[in-house]
């Protein structure tokens, strides 16, 4: 033990240098960039100051953020909107209509007038449910195309403004009764339709969202490619438009070239040897 301590004291300066050498080499190699670096600098709207730049490898031209956002908005506008239609509700309501009509018009004799009133009320009911009745308002344009789902199966496409909004029931009945010349029975018809009309259409958020996400996932983030040795920009040429986009795509390609497992050991070894030689020259 004493001999070891004496050896340490005699060579502590050398041991310190070796330790410092190893530590410095490790830190420098560790801080080396793990991805490619684009060695040119440029500004949009300014001339290219370096020599003519040729593509060092094949790479894709990436879309700008504005282009991607615009395309996303377009996809959202064109993505289909799905509404469920419950046909069972309509069948049940027609049965309720007959019962409610008899209750509200019970004092009328069963003659042609009563039959005509029943028939005209049924026609109005069919008009209301022609496309479907919505309980809630949705923020869609009148011309928005809606895909109709009946029992989870698409059965057609209709304009959004073809749906009947439940909050419009009173004005619809009043205007229809006036047109038909049945003002004398307006209150009875209002009571009748408010009693039987129920919503049978609603937005299918799940399928609508799945359809949108599927379309967004198919959106391409690139809009072309540049082949190796293609002239990207000439010296003195202004960096703007497509030139600026291509240069940014090249920068992104360099930054994405992270070391892979296959060449990691080789690159680290080479870095270590170079740094070690450089430090040895300074000792």
Global pTM reads 0.66
**What pLDDT shows up at residue 256?**
72
> Is there a domain that residue 68 lies in?
no
Out of 18-22, 98-102, 154-158, 191-195, which region has the weakest mean confidence (pLDDT)?
18-22
Strand intervals (E) in 96-171: 133-134, 145-150, 153-159, 164-165
Cα 190 from Cα 193, distance rounded (Å): 5
- CA-based torsion, 212, 213, 214, 216: positive or negative: positive
Say yes or no: 158 and 113 in one domain: yes
Cα end-to-end distance, the chain, whole Å: 31
**C-alpha gyration radius of the chain:** 39
Say yes or no: 124 and 227 in one domain: no
Say yes or no: 56 and 78 in one domain: no
Measure the CA dihedral 36/37/38/41, to 10°: 170
Residues 121-172: tens digit of each pLDDT:
999 999 999 999 999 889 899 999 999 999 888 989 999 999 999 999 999 9
**What pLDDT shows up at residue 267?**
58
Out of 21-25, 93-97, 173-177, 186-190, which region has the weakest mean confidence (pLDDT)?
21-25
Say yes or no: 118 and 213 in one domain: yes
Cα 135 from Cα 279, distance rounded (Å): 78
Asked if 201 and 64 count as a contact pair (C-beta separation under 8 A), the reply is no
Cα 200 from Cα 216, distance rounded (Å): 30
> Is there a domain that residue 23 lies in?
yes
Say yes or no: 108 and 240 in one domain: no
> Is there a domain that residue 153 lies in?
yes
More confident: 255 or 107: 107
Say yes or no: 200 and 130 in one domain: yes
> Is there a domain that residue 186 lies in?
yes
Cα 227 from Cα 168, distance rounded (Å): 61
Cα 33 from Cα 261, distance rounded (Å): 15
Structurally, how many domains does the chain consist of?
3
Residue 271, domain extent: 1-34+262-283
Tokens of 210: 């799945």
Say yes or no: 14 and 139 in one domain: no
Residue 190 has pLDDT above 90, yes or no: yes
């Amino acid at each position: 033990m004493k001999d070891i301590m004496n050896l340490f004291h005699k060579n502590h300066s050398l041991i310190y240098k070796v330790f410092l050498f190893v530590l410095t080499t490790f830190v420098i190699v560790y801080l080396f960039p793990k991805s490619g670096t684009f060695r040119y600098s440029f500004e949009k709207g300014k001339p290219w100051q370096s020599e003519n730049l040729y593509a060092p490898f094949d790479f894709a031209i990436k879309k700008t953020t504005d282009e991607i956002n615009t395309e996303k908005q377009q996809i959202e506008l064109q993505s289909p909107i799905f509404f469920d239609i419950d046909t069972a509700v309509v069948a049940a309501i027609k049965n309720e209509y007959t019962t409610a009509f008899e209750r509200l018009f019970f004092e009328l004799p069963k003659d042609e007038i009563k039959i005509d009133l029943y028939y005209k009320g049924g026609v109005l009911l069919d008009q209301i449910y022609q496309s479907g009745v919505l309980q809630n308002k949705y923020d869609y344009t009148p011309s928005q195309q809606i895909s109709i789902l009946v029992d989870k199966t698409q059965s057609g496409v209709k304009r959004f403004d073809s749906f009947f909004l439940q909050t419009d029931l009173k004005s619809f009945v009043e205007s229809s009764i006036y047109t038909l010349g049945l003002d004398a029975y307006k209150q009875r018809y209002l009571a009748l339709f408010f009693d039987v009309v129920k919503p049978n259409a609603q937005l299918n958020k799940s399928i609508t969202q799945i359809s949108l996400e599927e379309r967004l996932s198919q959106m391409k983030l690139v809009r072309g490619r540049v082949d190796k040795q293609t002239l990207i920009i000439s010296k003195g040429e202004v960096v703007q438009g497509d030139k600026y986009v291509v240069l940014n795509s090249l920068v992104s390609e360099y930054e994405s070239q992270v070391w892979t497992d296959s060449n990691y050991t080789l690159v680290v070894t080479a870095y270590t040897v170079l740094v070690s030689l450089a430090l040895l020259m300074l000792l």
